[in-house]
Amino acid sequence: MLQGMRRKFNLIAGALAASLTMALLTACTSASASAQPAPDTATSVPSTSASVPASVPAQFRGDYATLEANISDLQRQQDQGATDPVHPASGTITAGALNVADGNRGRSLLAPGTLAEVGAVLDRFQDLGIKGVMLEVGYPMLLPSFPDSSAYLAFYKSVASMVSAHSMVLSIELNPIFTNPQISSLDPDYSGLTVSSYADTQRQEAQLVIDQLHPRYLTLLDEPSTFASNLGLPIANSAAVVSLLNQELSGLDRGTTLVGAGIGTWESAAIEEAIATRTSVDYLSVHVYPTGPEQLSTLDQVTSIAARAEKPLVMDETWLSKSDPTGRPGKGNAVVEQTEKEWSFWEPLDATYLTTITAYAKSHGISLISPFSTDLFFGYVPWTTALASGPGKNVRVTASRIELSNIESGQPDPVGLAYAQAASKS
């Protein structure tokens, strides 16, 4: 659950910071180079490892080395999967998270100019050869009882039409809106909600999504422990997950949409097994963030579960978690990582991770892969002592300025190019 909370904070705070800096976009587009602080070479330290670049600040060198080792472990798993007949090759859709339209942004979605931002991001995705988008729609924002629900539905119908116009596959996660005001600008009231009433109303919203947005994939449950924490409901174990999903799926007219559910790799693979064998989902899903040995083992277990059940597997969220390099729950801090992930010294690791996890997805027959922090496809912040020692907000605003400028000018970062290259490989 903590990993899910951390990565969600990272996304939403970044998206809100992006909204605050959109007014600066015209000025910074004409001078994007000047918007980027010059690297502070005085903060570089001599390398104590042949593999860790000397530019990595001292306090991050240990985590950097651990993450390198984790990626090497993932590479070995990928190599094994490439020759393992249990995981047949398939046409993997390489997608990306459409963070600018995330439901937790709330009323920012209805602001003038947001659809133009969506269009700009989709254009850049298309330039990179990205074939699909993962869109997170919040529960219960489309239900008639929720304020401005009709406006949100109209917004998402426009987004879905734009995705279709770009000839991209639409994958939607229907996740509870966060109650933490640092993560979401909305304020959902989950008091009085029961597992049964949640299942009924979640099914109602799922039907709206299917009928109005027509996604190819719709994930009803993706991090049981995060859902349980947000909703205040006991739905983080196999029996509860199966009961919840079976109630949601009962009477749901799926049409041409595939409906799925799954776990994050920090959760129990037994839940994924139960979903695969005791519900009628069309596919399984998995989120990959921490890359410690236990999480990578769970990833292999999940791919094997999907293969045995003969169900497609969708990796609808993944990124390289910086504050959790070992995968130990509770090690990281959401606010800290939300700033730290922006530093440019992480670029080589992020590029290598995306290359490796994309190859893993292809060699293990995963139907769709969607990196999460796609804002970083368009720029990182060079480390400086002054910026690092100041408020984290300064780093995030600087990052948003750089990223928004590069999105408008069509200039991807090497990490975005690395994903594009990985996506293009057969």
**Cβ-contact 390, 11 below 8 angstroms:** no
Average pLDDT over residues 145-149: 95
Average pLDDT over residues 245-264: 98
Q: Tell me what percent of the residues of the chain surpass a pLDDT of 90.
A: 74
The amino acid that residue 110 corresponds to is L
Cα–Cα distance for residue pair 111/426, rounded to 1 Å = 40
**Cβ-contact 260, 284 below 8 angstroms:** yes
Domains of the chain: residue spans and CATH: 2-36+58-424 (3.20.20.120)
pTM confidence score: 0.88
The amino acid that residue 201 corresponds to is T
3-state secondary structure labels for all residues of 149-169: HHHHHHHHHHHHHHHHHCCCE
Q: Inform me whether the pLDDT recorded for 238 exceeds 90.
A: yes
Q: Which of 4, 72, 1, 80 is nearest to 304 (CA)?
A: 80
Cα–Cα distance for residue pair 373/404, rounded to 1 Å = 14
pLDDT grade for 83, boundaries at 50, 70 and 90: low
Quick one: pLDDT at residue 180?
Answer: 76
Cα–Cα distance for residue pair 317/373, rounded to 1 Å = 9
Quick one: pLDDT at residue 185?
Answer: 81
Quick one: pLDDT at residue 184?
Answer: 78
Q: Tell me what percent of the residues of the chain surpass a pLDDT of 70.
A: 83
Quick one: pLDDT at residue 89?
Answer: 54
Quick one: pLDDT at residue 336?
Answer: 67
pLDDT in tens, 34-52: 334 444 433 333 334 557 9
pLDDT in tens, 188-230: 999 999 999 999 999 999 999 999 999 999 999 999 999 999 9
Q: Where are the beta strands (DSSP E) in 56-168?
A: 93-97, 132-139
